[in-house]
A and B are shown apart, each in its own frame.
Chain A
Amino acid sequence: MIEFSHVSASYDNETPILDDVSFSIGDGEFVAFVGENGAGKSTTMRLANGLLKPTAGRVLIDGVPTAELRTSELARRVGFLFQNPDRQICCNTVRDELLFGFAAQNRETEAAREQVDAMAARFGLDPDAEPYLLNRGARQLLALASVIVLAPSVLLLDEPTTGLDFRECAKVMDVIADMHARGATVIMVCHDMEVVGDYAQRVIAMARGGVVDDGPTFRVLRDQETLRRAHLAPPQIVDVSLRLSRCESAGLAGSPVARANTLDDMTAAVIALATAKES
């Protein structure tokens, strides 16, 4: 359980980045933070793993305030993937990179080495490859692999799909979804609303250092006021359904087609509509 209670934060004690933010995230949830750049999403993530301490309020991880814990202690429970993988990678081979976290946490064992080799194989990475010679997508995959190989119970992901092509993005998100299915709490900052719509169960929309909306993914992503305040564009399918619901002349307002949140919903609704017209 991660709990933010009236949290304010600043990097220089002068300019507030977060102002009186409160929410809680239960074990096993998959939450996406969305909002424009500068809304305070990454700051929220840094507060959640103790890299930044709140200037007011409290951040609690399993009931313990992060202000009382060192980040290195929190690392056993909370895995953090940074936006830029090059800040994380510091070893000469993929295997050493994957083992780095185990060594830092004094958990390097033969079993850990086996896990590392299995993880490299799962991500299609050559364990003996030089990390800095990998392409951007592969480096991002390596950074993610080096976080999840430690099997943290909470996974914080700061824009995990930035700079990835479609195939790499799908690969990364499938691994994250698998971690979630195994019980991990996943908290992700993401600008790609398609990814948010496909994977997140809950969305917290942020703007100007505060929470604008917090709720089930499609409830938030269909809320026109939330979209406006957080400067968000909804996933394409939601956008199409919102346009249809506003188009009185099409006679679809209120119909399943105009309420569709996913491609599957839309397909089913269109088929049902076509079938009804034929009959």
Chain B
Amino acid sequence: MTGFLEFVPGTSMLHRMNPAAKLGCALLISVACFCTSNLVLLLAILALDFALAASCSLTRQALGLARAVTVFSAVLAIIALLTTPTGAVIASLPWGYIGTGSLTAAVLVIVRLVACAVPLFLVMYVTQLVDLANSLVKILHVPYKYAFTLISAVHFIPVFLNDMSGIMEAQMARGVEFDGGLARKVRLMIPLCVPLLVSSVRKTNSAAIAAEIRGFHLRTRTSGFKDYPFHAADVAAIAACVALLALAVGSNFVG
């Protein structure tokens, strides 16, 4: 069993694709989500996301992520619902009304965010972080320190989640009850951010020193042993994503 955003080994097409191409495709799909307000197209992109996840046996992870993003985007959906008075009136508000268009806008927000997030996170599950960093350096000429910063940030997410879980357990063992409403939970969790912050600073400081004493600053674009050539499948995938982006932009001018 793997943790959040941890690489899942496999031999699927997505696993075999060039890391930079994967990242490029994910970004293009995400941009496409923001370039269209066509719910049908967004649902089609969402279906494509899950089809891609299924192709590399990551449906469970994709569903989990979709659930988490849905919860997060619910706040934005509620705001959209209350501030987009369009369509037939369903309920009146002091500052306007909730209409059928408001409902569509709320659904649109959720579908857009989920459809946008899934491919980006999927890249992390099907790509070794070191390959992602090396391909960014070799192909896109990103300075290594920035590529390393990116992968370190991603790498530390499960580490910090694990730390937070351990800190919460330590406080539960001392009698803190995390049961109850959201407000109570947030109030109890705020002091726990102190040990998390301290451990984060200690970890990043240790990681920085460990990297430096192993010659981090000597690394150049040509230091990496592995090459990341583009294959026909990578080019085809990027072309398909560019086409999807064009379709998303074009959908705004239709109907």
Q: Is the CB of A14 within 8 A of B1?
A: yes
Q: Name the distance in Å between B87's Cβ and chain A's nearest Cβ.
A: 46
Within 8 A of A (CB), among B173-197: 173-177, 179, 191-192, 194-195
User: Which chain A positions have C-beta within 8 A of B199?
Assistant: 86-87
* Given A15-B1, A132-B198, A90-B171 contact (CB < 8 Å): yes
Contact across chains for A104 and B1 when beta carbons are under 8 A apart: no
Q: Is A89 touching B195 in the complex (CB atoms < 8 A)?
A: yes
Whole-angstrom distance between the Cβ of B102 and the nearest chain A Cβ: 42
Number of B residues near A (Cβ < 8 Å) is 21
- Interface flag for A137 (CB, 8 Å): no
Q: Which of A55-63, A68-76, A215-223 contacts B (4 or more CB under 8 A)?
A: A68-76
Which of B107-115, B130-138, B162-170 is the contact stretch? B162-170
- Complexed CA–CA distance, A91 and B199 (Å): 14
- Judge whether B175 and A90 touch: CB under 8 Å: no
By DSSP majority rule, is chain A's interface helix, strand, loop, or mixed?
loop
A33 at the interface (CB under 8 A from B): no
CB-CB contacts of A64-96 with B at 8 A, as 1s and 0s?
Answer: 000000111001101110101011111110000
Instruction: Work out how many contacts link A and B, with CB atoms closer than 8 A.
Output: 72
Considering the complex, give the chain A residue whose CB is closest to the CB of B190. A90
Is there contact, CB below 8 Å, between B175 and A76? yes
**Residue-wise interface mask of A (30-63) relative to B, using a CB-CB cutoff of 8 A (1 in contact, 0 not):** 0000000000000000100101000000000000
Interface size classification for chain A:
20 to 34
- Are the CB atoms of A90 and B167 closer together than 8 Å? yes
| Cβ-defined partner of B173 (8 Å) among A15, A51, A91, A132 | A51
A87 touches B1 (CB 8 A): no
- Complex Cα spacing A92 to B179, Å: 25
List the A side residues contacting B177 at CB < 8 Å: 70, 72, 104
Q: How far is the CA of A228 from the CA of B61 in the complex (A)?
A: 42
Q: Is the CB of B175 within 8 A of A75?
A: yes
Q: Is the CB of A86 within 8 A of B172?
A: no
Residues of the B chain whose Cβ atoms lie less than 8 Å from the Cβ of A86: 195, 198-199, 202
Which residue of chain B lies nearest to A52 when distances are taken between CB atoms in the complex? B169
Assess the A75–B174 pair: CB atoms within 8 A: yes
**Could you jot down 15 A-B contacts, CB within 8 Å?**
A46-B169, A51-B169, A70-B177, A70-B179, A71-B172, A72-B172, A75-B173, A79-B173, A80-B170, A84-B166, A90-B192, A90-B195, A91-B194, A92-B194, A150-B174
The chain A residues found within 8 Å of chain B, CB to CB, are 12, 14-15, 46, 49, 51, 70-72, 75-76, 78-80, 82, 84, 86-92, 100-101, 104-105, 132, 146-147, 150
What 8 A-B pairs have minimum CB-CB distances, sorted nearest first?
A75-B175, A104-B175, A105-B175, A80-B173, A72-B177, A88-B170, A71-B172, A12-B1
